[in-house]
Amino acid sequence: MLTIENLTNEIDGKAILKGLSLSINAGEIHAIMGPNGAGKSTLAYTLGGRPNYEVTGGTASFDGVNLFSLDPHERAAAGLFLGFQYPVEIPGVSNLQFLRESLNSQKRARGEKELNGGEFIRLAKEKAALLGLDMDMLKRPVNVGFSGGEKKRAEMVQMGILDPKLAILDETDSGLDIDALKVVGAGINAIMRKPDKAVLLITHYQRLLDYVKPDFVHVLAGGRIVKSGGPELALDLEREGYAEVLGAEVVTA
């Protein structure tokens, strides 16, 4: 579904990703872990097409399409969802308005029929219930006044409504207490664990992986994938630390 080869990028002239390769097939859940500053969030933003995250080399192919030839909104319409570590607040725009415009923009781009008000509200109710988010929250402006946990739940409601093929979730577990983590983990499984979908989880900690079991775990350090393995790799990292598993020189590279 997603094939990244030898990806390099720059932010304000500074190289962050230095030859990253990764392949994700439909039906798979991949986790990327790594020390601070390794380039994890940069990878997510680069795949999402954030301005100023300049691709300087390599390729990313999403369902056979060159991802970097698409604008950010076209990537979303093609089925990519980016979960933000820090969801953005948009005063004056309600979640419902935001999501209905987003979903219908995607549908227009794909040549599908748009949802009318009633159809959309039914869909939103169903997905909000899945994440235990009160519908009243969705009437409020996007992320304004939401706690850290509420923002992450709201992100997962967005994902449920937009129904992407591939979700790249950047530290969706940060700022969540144990109960919220369980709810969010169950939400990710319910929405995304399907034969025709895939997930790339970016996380610092193993604990999210207790609820969303990855098929593959990769370690990102110094702008590259330096080690890949099964779920046991995450446990090794949690127990022994990055320096021990990878060697200190890899971590600081």
Partner 1 sequence: MNALTLPTRKAEEWRYSDLDALATIWPAPAPTRIDVAAGASARHHLLQDAADGAAAVHDYAITLADGARCDFHVLNIGGKLGRVTFTVTLGSNAHFELNGAIIGGGDQTLEIVTSVTHAQPDSTSGQTIRSILGQHATGSYLGSINVARDAQRTDAFQSVKAMLLDRTATANAKPELEIYADDVKCAHGATVGELDKAALFYMASRGMDPATAKTLLLKAFVAGVFDDVADEAVKGSLEAAALAKLETLV
**Applying CB under 8 A, does 92 fall inside the site for partner 1?**
yes
**Applying CB under 8 A, does 102 fall inside the site for partner 1?**
yes
> Which listed residue (13, 51, 118, 195) binds partner 1 by CB under 8 A?
51
Work out how close the CB of 228 gets to partner 1 at its nearest, in angstroms, rounded to a whole number. 27
Residues 166-185 that bind partner 1 (CB under 8 A): none
CB 101 within 8 A of CB 162: no
> Which listed residue (18, 57, 61, 98) binds partner 1 by CB under 8 A?
98
Q: Which is nearer to partner 1, 108 or 213 (CB)?
A: 108
> Which listed residue (3, 11, 50, 59) binds partner 1 by CB under 8 A?
50
CA 207 to CA 98: how far, in whole Å? 31
The alpha carbons of the chain give a radius of gyration, in whole angstroms, of 18
Structure-token pair, residue 243:
């320096």
With contacts defined by CB under 8 A, how many residues of the chain interact with partner 1? 33
- Specify the stretch interacting with partner 1 by CB under 8 A; choose among 42-50, 59-67, 176-184, 229-237: 42-50
CA 44 to CA 38: how far, in whole Å? 12
Q: Please classify residue 122 by burial: count the beta carbons closer than 10 Å to its beta carbon, then call 0-12 exposed, 13-18 middle and 19+ buried.
A: exposed
**Applying CB under 8 A, does 162 fall inside the site for partner 1?**
yes
CB 85 within 8 A of CB 168: no
